[in-house]
Structures are given as structure tokens and as C-alpha cells.
Chain A
């Protein structure tokens, strides 16, 4: 089955005075209809940049450098990277929704919730009554009562605001939802509830979700597949079960090893720090921190190659050709 979203060679960076510093480099990613795809990586590895690139919401100095993003819908296929602004606007919210990082501040403080939920619906051609009905229905999906529509954002708790954003994002029943650090600012209990609500929404609406997080625990909880990102590139891609059982990439192994399992039990994290875009190393970007580093790693860039079924890894360890050379 063809993927709902097919990302090929996507690169985005920061425009400086002379050159563009790459932040996300050459990302290939297929998002299957109906799945929850986790994108996980340390903070600063370019997850939000990737999300904004998919949403075409990069703001200068951020720039989309190259790549294609084929978005397949029933009525045809759109390359999000090339789509003119007007058509993009038509697609947004109807088919493509965004839950931005820091959604706590994503509501306009001087407009009531109702206005902010319905203005888009009205612009997409719904009547006032329909828009109201849909908003109420969407709020129900995240267990909020209709009277919340009367409130201003500052009257709501953080968890409620996050739920309002989710409700707004799903109110048009979009095909794809990109959710960036959905639960980061919330307490553990609220976090769990919201993730459950999101999973329920996926089941009920049949939406596809790209769930971006730095938290392996969140991925383990609700994602079907996961893309592990390191320094702007995808290191490993596979099913959640597969990767948690047998991570192949040394970085995935480190990430999974550093999940705190039981309370109080300290686990060793990854040594060193994730590089900022201005300091991405050559060759395999992980090589300065890699415990398995060997000869070609600081020169050759590993390609994201298929390994066993449903798994892709970008590491020379698993590249027969490179291993033969070394």
C-alpha cells in the first residue's frame, strides 16, 4: 500500500549570512495511513524543524532546502514541498493538522476558545451551527465539556489548553496530524491521559499521527513505528516492538538503555552531548559518541539501508560492503 506521506531527500537548515547550515539532512520517511509514527531523538536534533518543514511552517532564518513530500489523498496527490500557498491553506486543518511544540502558548490569549476553534471551520465553509457542533464533538474526544468554549485561555489549566489544541486539530477530521512534544510540559498523570485520548482519536477517526518527542517512554506507550533521529538524520526506523527488543543502531541502543525502567533505578545515559547544527561532524554524525566506531565512520556517511523486515538502519556496522572494505 502506498504511504500516506512519502518524504524523500528532505533537507532544511538555517540561512546564515553566507551559507545555509543544515539542520535536517536528507530525510527519507514513509508515513503509513492509520499509524502513529514516533519521531524520537535528543533535544536539538532537529525534530521540530522536521515537523515545521512538513507543515511548511518554517520561519526565517529556517529554510526548506530540498526534497519532496508526497501527500496522497483520495482526491489526488500533493507535493507539500512545492504546493502554492493558497492550495496549502485549503489542505491545512482539513487534511493536515499541527499540534505545535509549546502548545501551551498556542492559543491567542485575547480570544475565547470558541472563536479560535471555529474561525478555521468557518473559513473552510462550515456554517456557524455546524462549526459549533463540530467543536463540541471534538472537545468530547478529549473529555472536555462544551462550556469550555466560553473561556479565555488563561482561565484554563495547562492540560486543558493542550486538550483544546488537540480538539481544534482534529475538528476537521484531518488525514494527518503532526504533534510536536505533545505532553512535554505536563505532569505525568495528565501526560498519560492525553496520550490515551490521542490513541482513541486515532482509532475513532482513523487519523494518521506523526508524534514527535524526546521521550522514548512516550513512543513505547502509543506509537506503532518509530524513527530515531540523530543530528538531523534518521538513524534507525522500524516497529516499536522490533526496535525496543533489538535496537540495531548504536544510538538507538544507547537511547533505549537510558530509559528509566523502575523508580529510583539509575541507568547510564549516553556519554557526551548532541551536536548543534553548526558542529555536525563529518562521516557518520554519531561517530564522536559511538562506542562501536571503526575505520570508515569518520569519513563515509552511512546510508539508511533496509535490514531485516520492517527495519532500516544507517550504520556502517550493518553495511556488508563497508564491512568488507574495512
Chain B
């Protein structure tokens, strides 16, 4: 009768085989990651160049307007020719593409000069703007995930109570509201009508970035509404997702058994319901991260924050390919990396994946 219990013990061979499998999984996952990154860059490269409008003409128009005088045609030709050379847009597209990749990979992330803030390097521009986006985006998504997961677990656990049903209705309404409407609502009511919190700009206009309490508190209060806009919509989604996961877990046989064992409701909730619902909820985090980055870009524009979203909009106006590409590159990189981390971390949470991975 004990014969079949011997299968539990893993022989050394099995363990080695298992380790090899895990290694292959990680390798394969990493390959997919690199391929996706490359594909996204490539698509972005060609798509942006198909947008009508010559960046040189637009740039020239801006210079002209700034200087307030019209140049003659010959002079214009010279300027355009010079810029075209700097930006390398004279070469045929395939060559431009190869050059772009070569510089980006071998040249230490040399993404070319930007048109938006010429002669600043695109790379520097992106690095300067990135903290805003990362700060607002990651903080609000993580907070939304924490709050949504907790709230969703609670209303799933108390699924039959009135309050929990009300919470579901509210979350559903919030979840289907576009993020820009929520942002505009907050700007209009909280920012202008009631004047509770600032609703535009990264910090008060009269301040300079420095390590003073005044500046930091201004920075934080200015960040509340943009982050709240993001959190409300994403958090509502996380809440509903976690609630659904909880309810499906609550119907599982192992939950009935846990209750039959005489465990306290708290232990049942913590070790049996919440723990199991959490695994797919972590995966949801990775998916949502990708799907909501563009929402953050919109929020940056609406709240006039100097992040990647506003940079992208500026670059779009100038057909500044280099900058647009850099923003996309960065976004994809961030999203893919997060997904990769979650994918690789999942086996730690779920013993079932460990073997099948």
C-alpha cells in the first residue's frame, strides 16, 4: 500500500532534469523578451516615418517664427540640408534603420539628437523626463493594486452583504469611465471649483527644485490629483478582478474543507481564500501595467507634468522621430521588463507552475 508513496521522493536525476527544465524556461522566456523588444522598436521606427509631414519643414517653420523673419529659399535649402545630415534622414530607410539599431545597441543607447530640444541628445531628454512618469505611474499602479486587492478580497469575502454589492456597482462605474474623464473631473472640481488641491504643473510656479520642505510638499500635493486619477480607474479594475477571483476560490472544495476543519474565519480567509486568489491577481498586475501606461501619458498632458507623455506629444507635433521612438522604446522596455519579472516570479508563488514550467 505504500508503493505509490515512493513517487514523492525525487531522485537526483529527476532533480537535475527539473533544474535543466527551469533553466530552459528562463532562457526561452528571455528570448521572447528580446524578440518582442526588437519587434516593437522596428515597428515604431517605420510607423513614425509614415506619418505625413517633413520634420525639417516643421522645424524650419518654428525657427522662422521664433526669429520673426523670413529667409530666402536658398538659405532655407542650406539649413534644411544641414539638419537632414545631422539627423541622418537622407539615407534610404533600410540604411537609416540599420544605423539606428547599430547606434542604439553598440553606441551606448545613442538614440540620436532630438529635434524638440536640439541639440540635446534624445537619450538625455528621456532620462530627464522619465522620473516623472515612473514616479506617477508606478506609485499609482502599485497603490491601486494594493488597495484594489485588499478591497476586492474583502467585498468578495462578504459577497452577500449590501455594502459589498454597492461597492461592486461603484467599482464597475469607475472602471468603465475613461481615465481622462476622471482626471478632468478632478481638475475641474477639486482643483478649480473647490480649490482643495493644485491641479496643474509639477510644483508651484514660484519654486525651484531644491531640497527644501516647501518644494517637496509642493511636489507631493501637485502629485496627488494625477495619481488619484490613475488610481481610481485602475484600482476599480483591480478591485473587481480580485473580487471575482475570491468568489471563484470561495466555491472551491478546499474552502469547504478548511471551514470543516474548524479554522478561524481569519485563517480561512488568509491561508485558503486570499492566498489562492492572489496568484492570478499578480499576473493581472503585469497585464494592467502594459495596458495603463498610455493612461498615464494622457494624465501627464492634462496635468501639465513634464513626463514622457508630454514629451511624446511635443515630439509628435514636430515629427521628431528620434524622440518618439525613444519614448516608445522606453515604454515597451518598462512594460516588458515588468512582465518578465512577474513571469519569472510566479513559480515562487505557485507550486503548480514550478513543475509545469
Tell me whether A90 and B262 are in contact in the complex, defined as CB-CB below 8 angstroms, given that A108-B276, A150-B8, A159-B4 are known contacts. yes
Tell me whether A124 is interfacial, beta carbon within 8 Å: yes
Q: In chain A, residues 96-128, which have Cβ atoms closer than 8 Å to a Cβ of chain B?
A: 97-98, 100, 102-112, 115, 119-120, 123-124
Residue-by-residue, is B1-33 near A (CB-CB < 8 Å gives 1, otherwise 0)? 110110111000000000000000000000000
Tell me whether A100 and B4 are in contact in the complex, defined as CB-CB below 8 angstroms, given that A57-B260, A110-B276 are known contacts. no
6 intermolecular pairs with C-beta atoms under 8 Å apart: A93-B262, A98-B260, A100-B253, A107-B257, A111-B275, A154-B355
Q: Which of B129-137, B177-185, B264-272 lies at the binding interface? A: B264-272
- In the complex, which of the residues A59, A89, A107, A160 contacts B254, with contact meaning CB atoms closer than 8 Å? A107
- In the complex, which of the residues A60, A98, A105, A145 contacts B5, with contact meaning CB atoms closer than 8 Å? A145
Tell me whether A102 and B253 are in contact in the complex, defined as CB-CB below 8 angstroms, given that A92-B262, A108-B272, A156-B8 are known contacts. yes
Q: Which residue of A lies closest to B259 (CB)?
A: A57
**Distance, CA A145 to CA B352, complexed state (A):** 22
Tell me whether A147 is interfacial, beta carbon within 8 Å: yes
Q: Are B271 and A147 in contact (CB under 8 A)?
A: no
Cβ–Cβ < 8 Å partners of A108 in chain B: 254, 258, 271-272, 275-276
Q: In chain B, residues 25-78, which have Cβ atoms closer than 8 Å to a Cβ of chain A?
A: none
Q: In chain B, residues 263-287, which have Cβ atoms closer than 8 Å to a Cβ of chain A?
A: 263-264, 267, 271-272, 275-276, 279
Q: Are B271 and A160 in contact (CB under 8 A)?
A: no
Q: Are A106 and B253 in contact (CB under 8 A)?
A: yes
Q: Are B4 and A111 in contact (CB under 8 A)?
A: no
Q: Which residue of A lies closest to B275 (CB)?
A: A110
Smallest beta-carbon distance A93→chain B, Å: 5
Smallest beta-carbon distance A146→chain B, Å: 10
A interface residues (Cβ-Cβ under 8 A, vs B): 55, 57, 59-60, 88-94, 97-98, 100, 102-112, 115, 119-120, 123-124, 143-145, 147-148, 150-152, 154-157, 159-160, 165, 168, 193
| Number of B interface residues in the complex (CB < 8 A) | 31
Main secondary structure of the interface of B (DSSP, over half): helix
Q: Are B254 and A109 in contact (CB under 8 A)?
A: yes
Tell me whether A165 and B257 are in contact in the complex, defined as CB-CB below 8 angstroms, given that A94-B262, A105-B252, A109-B351 are known contacts. yes
Tell me whether A110 and B352 are in contact in the complex, defined as CB-CB below 8 angstroms, given that A55-B260, A119-B271, A120-B262 are known contacts. yes
Cβ–Cβ < 8 Å partners of A156 in chain B: 8
**Distance, CA A104 to CA B279, complexed state (A):** 21
Cβ–Cβ < 8 Å partners of B257 in chain A: 98, 100, 103, 106-107, 165
Tell me whether A57 and B256 are in contact in the complex, defined as CB-CB below 8 angstroms, given that A93-B262, A123-B263 are known contacts. yes
Tell me whether A151 and B8 are in contact in the complex, defined as CB-CB below 8 angstroms, given that A57-B256, A106-B256 are known contacts. yes
Tell me whether B350 is interfacial, beta carbon within 8 Å: yes
Tell me whether A110 and B279 are in contact in the complex, defined as CB-CB below 8 angstroms, given that A92-B262, A105-B254, A119-B267 are known contacts. yes
Smallest beta-carbon distance B270→chain A, Å: 10
Tell me whether B205 is interfacial, beta carbon within 8 Å: no
Cβ–Cβ < 8 Å partners of A168 in chain B: 261
Tell me whether A154 and B8 are in contact in the complex, defined as CB-CB below 8 angstroms, given that A57-B256, A168-B261 are known contacts. no
Cβ–Cβ < 8 Å partners of B351 in chain A: 109-110, 112, 152, 154
Q: Which residue of A lies closest to B349 (CB)?
A: A110
Q: Are A105 and B253 in contact (CB under 8 A)?
A: yes
Smallest beta-carbon distance A55→chain B, Å: 6
**Distance, CA A157 to CA B9, complexed state (A):** 13
Cβ–Cβ < 8 Å partners of A152 in chain B: 351-352
Q: Are A160 and B4 in contact (CB under 8 A)?
A: yes
Cβ–Cβ < 8 Å partners of A159 in chain B: 4
Cβ–Cβ < 8 Å partners of A97 in chain B: 260
**Distance, CA A123 to CA B266, complexed state (A):** 12
**Distance, CA A89 to CA B261, complexed state (A):** 8
Q: Are B1 and A143 in contact (CB under 8 A)?
A: yes
Q: Are B276 and A91 in contact (CB under 8 A)?
A: no
**Distance, CA A112 to CA B258, complexed state (A):** 14
Tell me whether B206 is interfacial, beta carbon within 8 Å: no
Q: Are A144 and B5 in contact (CB under 8 A)?
A: yes
Q: Are A145 and B254 in contact (CB under 8 A)?
A: no
Cβ–Cβ < 8 Å partners of B2 in chain A: 143-145
Cβ–Cβ < 8 Å partners of B7 in chain A: 155, 157
Q: When A and B form their complex, which 3 residue pairs have the shortest distance between CB atoms, in order from nearest?
A: A92-B262, A98-B260, A106-B257
**Distance, CA A58 to CA B301, complexed state (A):** 54
Tell me whether B162 is interfacial, beta carbon within 8 Å: no
Q: Are B352 and A154 in contact (CB under 8 A)?
A: yes
